Amino acid sequence: MYVFMSQGKQEYQPVEVERVQTGVRLEKRMLKVLKAIAEQKDMTLGDLLEGIVLHAFEGEAPFSPQTLKEIEQFKTLYGMTLKATDSHHLKERKR
């Protein structure tokens, strides 16, 4: 992830936001990968997701080449085989 919070010389002023609790459901292995990346980057899952979305909204890639390598390792570790092309074809398993 391109994490600029304390890196570099440019200082950023905090932007005040109002956060809300949400009941989002995610694919189990995807969540494990996201949690692993967030922990590795010493950030909350919510902060990671906000960063991904803000980058995506601007058409930018949220992850550095190094982080993409780490994501691949976590995907292998957790058995996540989903690809972007699967995104509109996911069907929840019946319990």
pLDDT at 39 over 70: yes
- What pLDDT is stored for residue 9 in this prediction? 60
Domain parsing of the chain, residue ranges:
28-80
* Residues 19-35: tens digit of each pLDDT: 999 999 999 999 999 99
Provide the token pair at 43: 């950030």
As a whole number of angstroms, the distance between CA 51 and CA 74 comes to 19
Average pLDDT over residues 54-82: 97
> When comparing pLDDT for 2 and 43, which is higher?
43
Ramachandran category for residue 13: left, alpha or beta (phi over 0 → left; psi -120 to 50 → alpha): beta
